[in-house]
Amino acid sequence: MATLDLTRDLEEDFPPVSLPTSSSSSATLCCSITLPLAASTTMELGCRRKPREPGVTRYEEDFQLYQGRLSEFTLKELKVATNNFSNKNILGRGGFGQVYKGQLANGYVAAIKRGREVSDTSVLMFHAEVKAGNQLNHPNVAPLLGFCTSSKSKDNLLVYPFMVNGSVASHLKDRIGSQPPLSWHMRMKVALGAARGLRHLHSLNIIHRDIKASNILLDERFEPLIGDLGLALFAAERRRAQIERVAESERGAADLALCNGRTNKAECQLEDLTVHTSVRGTIGYIAPEYISRGQCTKKSDIFSFGIMLLELLGGRRVYELCRLAIEEGAELVDWVIGLLKNNELERLIDKDIRGDYNEGEVRQLTKIALLCTEHEPKERPSAGELVQLIKGDGWHERWENQVDYIVLKEELSMRPTCDWIVIDSVSRLRPEELSGPR
């Protein structure tokens, strides 16, 4: 069996992602995503904008700013690519709309997301994906190839590379036909690659808000790529707006106070602030502080990532794992802690891999998942720490430091009820319908 090199880090000096070229002159794609758009550059662009034109919303202004860096396809091109959006080419459905498999004029196979619902939400999701697609260039984040807008048909379309191995979710218990389960080696590869992708998002102050197994895509080499950024929150911009409103609200003043008394607003880092926003995401993955109080930070993504790790370990969707826990009178995280304490992790691990796994790595990944799903956001690792923990650097020490805290909470009955998931509502819905108010 091939060995996964957990010591190698792909974050720095990776090559640009090569993209195809469209046949249309109006839809010429760049040869590669050479985007030197670091977060600071993007923010500088935002600060130096001209005054907004009358009647133009902030989202429309954002779209005008970013769309020039992506290729624009015509609706005719994408109709030809998908055989007029034939039902036979439907890959699935997400919060934005139907996803079709299509073949561009040059033979490149793409996944084309078509949003036909005319609503403020769908337009915002479209703008978010276009905006994110211009900033992201990482081997573990799905690259956006281009887009199409049609005022005549009110279509908004996004063009991504087709991922031949689907998503992590498609390889869990409900996989189709004779499709084999993911090997343990592949599961470790998915965990590490997805963590690197999340670290890249967070380095640009982008909060994904919908990390889950169905949004971790797998290419032909089973390399994981984080996809579906329709709910992405550009937190640095929200942070700046909140700071500008400091004098106008008690919440803004409290947020600024969290900057440890620093007077230079530019020095106030995102980790010091909580972005207050309406709840978005998928039931079962949403962090407790976000679903109950609307407090969203990077640590909200870390919580979701921990739930995804439990899915990887168990080979089941989160609502299936929750059913198993409820049957034993426990909530999911507490159930997993119990299995770990009693050396019964074989009851969690996907039986379809027939015991072909590394027991030490299973305990390692389980403990990392528990660190990620800590009720208190400050007790969860950052995305950068997460990468190191999965690589094997310092995870045992991190767990030993944390376990004292967990034991103390149990002794003092401090562990709050995890009311972030409602089993009854989840059990009646298919995963595609669990995306909440997108």
Rounded CA-CA distance 96/114 in Å is: 7
Q: Binding site for ATP: what residues are annotated?
A: 113
User: Which residues have a Cβ under 8 Å from the Cβ of 230 and sit 6 or more positions away?
Assistant: 94, 95, 96, 125, 126, 128, 129, 210, 438
Among candidate residues 9, 62, 120, 210, the one labeled active-site is 210
Helices assigned H by DSSP within 258-297: 288-293
Strand, coil or helix: 326: helix
Is 393 a residue of the active site?
no
DSSP codes, 166-192: -BSGGGSTT--TTPPPPPHHHHHHHHH
142 within 8 A of 165, measured Cβ to Cβ: no
User: Which residues have a Cβ under 8 Å from the Cβ of 307 and sit 6 or more positions away?
Assistant: 212, 284, 285, 318, 369, 372, 373
Dihedral through CA 391, CA 392, CA 397, CA 400, nearest 10? 100
396 within 8 A of 404, measured Cβ to Cβ: no
Rounded CA-CA distance 335/326 in Å is: 9
Rounded CA-CA distance 398/240 in Å is: 33
First to last CA, the chain: 42
Rounded CA-CA distance 356/214 in Å is: 24
Which among 215, 279, 313 has a CA at the least distance from the CA of 420?
A: 279
- Residues catalogued as catalytic: 210
